[in-house]
Amino acid sequence: MIMKNRYLFYILILFLLASCGQKQNNENSSMVNSYEFSLASGSEELLENVSVEFQTLELTEKSIVGSIDQIVEYGDTLFISDGSEYRLLAFTKTGKFIGQIGSRGEGPGEYSGIASFFIDADKSQIGIYDEDVCKMLYYNLSDFSFIDEKSYEDIVAGCCLPDGDSLIWYNQAFEGENSDSYFIVTDPAGKVTSSFVKKDFKTGYLTGCSTPMYICDGKIYGYTPYETTVYELSDDASKAVFKLKFKEFETPSIEYLNKISSSCQSSSLYKSLKDSGFISYYSVSNTTNTLCTTVMAKGEKYCGLAELSSGKTYFTTQEEMANKLGLGNIRYFIVGSIGESVLAIIDPMEVKDRVSSGMQLNESLRSIVETSDDNANPIIAKIAFCNL
């Protein structure tokens, strides 16, 4: 009888432990913060709490920027990739040109294209990922000298970020043993050690931002093309932290994606998705208290801002957002941040056209464009909530 009671006691303990474990999992799942964006019920007064500052970039013969793809802030330096010329440039935080990191070419230390780049402060390195030839190039963070390069022929990726001695990749592979997850983790040699977020839909076409990973407050965040969830990533785990909900729009179902992929060539998938009414593109970036998202649906661009501390959101067309903030015109928002600000890219010539038409502008921006050269570099609008 004593042995039987002891046996029942052990079973009870195991049951309680299992229940506690299940409760912990439920508590973790409840840690996801949801933000609803609605054209009809957004908090327009939220914009009264938004500040906008502007970053100009010095224009020299060597610092012409055609299209800003990515911005990374490190100390007093802004590293900016020019997608039109496939260059990585460095500027001071006041906009003065410092120099170029590496150069285009096919030799050691040269790249043919820049898919993305990162700053590894712990190792005092700049990493540039060249997706054309699947290699990572490393440069010294202090003097921009070339250090080394490493080929990753088995990895098809859009971007990469370091986590200690590991590399976390946004995985664009559509076939093969590494094609089942959106994020893969490798060691420095390229051996896959972990993978996260299953791909339910695999095709040769991806919609959305090509660099859907970024760092905020020392943490790595990433998101996927067909699910409006933002994950916090590390070399051994992923967890959902933000869930974005768009009241008027939906992400495409797996059934719909499979349908259009079977009836269209990959080059036609975007048009099918764009004409469907589903979300055909979205991107997101955030600071500790400001989240910005861009959405394309029914052929139009929409923009949302969320104040993370209060949960309040505002959602409208990108054109209307530019008008509300006095920006004249927003070309696009960019993944990345400067300080506590999310970033929008502005073409000074487009803004000049709006000035001449009598549009109301932010006074600081008006002063910049009225005195700028016609060939000036793009202007970076830094958007944040005033109470920070």
- 267: pLDDT confidence band, cut at 50, 70 and 90? low
Least reliable range by pLDDT among 4-13, 236-245, 286-295, 301-310: 4-13
- 14: pLDDT confidence band, cut at 50, 70 and 90? very low
Contact 81, 87 (CB under 8 A): yes
Cα–Cα distances (Å) from 160 to 86, 193, 233, 240, 289, in that order, read: 17, 15, 12, 19, 24
Mean pLDDT of 33-43: 91
Average pLDDT of every residue of the chain: 87
Mean pLDDT of 151-172: 93
Per-residue pLDDT for 46 more than 70?
yes
pLDDT on residue 30: 53
pLDDT on residue 61: 92
pLDDT on residue 21: 36
Query: Highest mean pLDDT range out of 14-23, 44-53, 230-239, 332-341?
Result: 230-239
Per-residue pLDDT for 263 more than 50?
yes
Rounded CA separation 131/110 (Å):
13
Per-residue pLDDT for 2 more than 60?
no
pLDDT on residue 266: 64
Nearest one of 54, 46, 116, 43 to 330, comparing CA atoms: 54
Q: In what order do the strands lie in the sheet with 379-385?
A: 50-55, 379-385, 341-346, 332-338
- Residue 303's Cβ-side half-sphere holds a number of Cα atoms within 13 Å equal to 24
- 88: pLDDT confidence band, cut at 50, 70 and 90? very high
SS3 content of the chain, % helix, strand, coil (to 5): 20, 40, 35
Rounded CA separation 353/346 (Å):
12
- 272: pLDDT confidence band, cut at 50, 70 and 90? confident
- 17: pLDDT confidence band, cut at 50, 70 and 90? very low
Percent of the chain with pLDDT over 70: 89
pLDDT on residue 264: 67
Quote the crossing angle between the two packed helices 266-274 and 254-263, to the nearest 10°: 130
Residue 32 DSSP one-character state: P
Per-residue pLDDT for 89 more than 90?
yes
**87 has which bridge partners?**
82
Mean pLDDT of 360-370: 90
Q: What is the pLDDT of residues 94-133, one digit of tens each?
A: 999 999 999 999 888 999 989 999 999 999 999 999 988 9
Per-residue pLDDT for 51 more than 60?
yes
Per-residue pLDDT for 284 more than 90?
yes
- 206: pLDDT confidence band, cut at 50, 70 and 90? low
- 360: pLDDT confidence band, cut at 50, 70 and 90? confident
Q: Please indicate whether residue 76 or residue 386 has the higher confidence score (pLDDT).
A: 76
pLDDT on residue 204: 64
Interior/surface letters 225-243, b for 16+ CB within 10 angstroms, e for the rest? bbbbbbbebbbeebebbbe
